[in-house]
Structure 1
């Protein structure tokens, strides 16, 4: 059998095992439930609050945006897992196996993407009952939701792999999370972006987080909601173009960065990191 095919099959099986384990482990299960439940609580209290004179409710505007934000946060999860498993020697063991890195990465994408889809379902399904005014009965809405989500994950997960390879330890993950939280704050997730200064709108449009939120809103909100968007348009072509550009960039850069990171891994480097971690605990 072709070595690449073998690696992909092994990675797929590994990813499914990790995904199943994440729903049978108490701590992981809590992490799956905590954020969606908190967001549902926020939307419940926002459900009757109107946005200006548009006739739209903040809860209605927020749900699709939060779905886009959660999809984008998959890159944080990917980064955290790669960094943690580099520290504990998992990546070193994968490197020592023929085509092990390829299988490892396939498995990681499967487990992270699968967990992300489950988290989105936990948020979306109850949200459809909590929030009024969503357009969820149209096949076109679900088709748009699907292509935006798939393209968004392809755009963001490789970026997460790059970040996980660049930062040296789990303690440095705060350097990743703070800028991402800043981008979320200005990306129209909790409040329409047109209410922000124009220069902030331009900054937000560089990030895939904004375009994921916009794509989700275009799928689930009524046509009247487009009036609060930039240019009063859903800009599907621009959404596909920007997310596609991020996807091409991530897919081009991630393999290079990961190979360089893997070459630097050794038993001595893992032991050194473990010793430093033990000293911090002590």
Structure 2
């Protein structure tokens, strides 16, 4: 309990530091804000088969993208950077330090994700017309999306030894975002791409947020012509279970392998890259 409470304090301190650093906050806001601007420019386009604005239809997918990028990849990046500078090794050397460390990191990244999502969502509601929001459903889907994606971020941060090695993962996630119906209805894509998109949580989180923010008539643009609430809950629930099974085991393995020699080797590699 002491370690968990220390993690709560650590998470709050880290979140406060990010939110009071204009450069960091702008960095996290840049991609979703730029995407919202692009959709606003395209607001005159319509969803195929309807008269509904394509820009408005894309907003929930942008919010889902924010959860994936800020939550999952942000946590993975934080873990790899702390491995490089020895922060994680110091946490390992403290009794129950890993519990406090992981608790703080998860809470800080979850809090940042919610703040960025709220800012983008408020801006989108002011810029776009046609929303029919159920805020309770939005909150529920956001919470489920965070629980489904944050453990994956912990797994990625444990598997990759430095921030640069995550660049390929970032590119793959961006490609996944494109085929997950964020910018254009997934039903307009080839069927095999639709099946690929449905394997991963980004599609299901986007679908759930669309069902919470858009009129029911827009379900016609989705696979099967419905919001598929049960399938959404089942798919994201499966990712939650997978993440909570994998993350503790991978984090324990990573912690066991951390040593002064491994940190020194990473610092040498960083020095060589910057030389």
TM-score (norm. length: structure 2):
0.97
Q: Which residue of 2 aligns with 1:171?
A: 164
- Asked if the contact 1:72–1:212 (Cα under 8 Å) also holds between the matched residues in 2, the reply is no
Q: Which residue of 2 aligns with 1:52?
A: 48
Q: Which residue of 2 aligns with 1:85?
A: 82
Q: Which residue of 2 aligns with 1:43?
A: 39
- Asked if the contact 2:63–2:206 (Cα under 8 Å) also holds between the matched residues in 1, the reply is yes
Runs of 4+ in structure 1 over 4 Å off: none
Q: Which residue of 2 aligns with 1:18?
A: 14
- Asked if the contact 1:36–1:122 (Cα under 8 Å) also holds between the matched residues in 2, the reply is no
- Asked if the contact 1:87–1:274 (Cα under 8 Å) also holds between the matched residues in 2, the reply is yes
Shift of 1:247: 0.6
Which residues in structure 2 correspond to 1:62-81 (within 5 Å)? 62-73=58-69, 74-81=71-78
Let me know the Cα RMSD of the aligned residues: 1.0
Which residues in structure 2 correspond to 1:1-282 (within 5 Å)? 5-73=1-69, 74-136=71-133, 141-282=134-275
Residue-pair matches, total: 274
Out of 236-245 and 38-47, give the one that drifted further: 38-47
Partner secondary structure for residue 71 of structure 1: helix
Q: Which runs of 5+ in 1 are unaligned?
A: none
Shift of 1:36: 3.2
How far apart, in 2, do the equivalents of 1:33 and 1:221 lie? 23
TM-score (norm. length: structure 1):
0.95
How far apart, in 2, do the equivalents of 1:37 and 1:188 lie? 18
- Asked if the contact 2:7–2:104 (Cα under 8 Å) also holds between the matched residues in 1, the reply is yes
Shift of 1:251: 0.6
Partner secondary structure for residue 79 of structure 2: helix
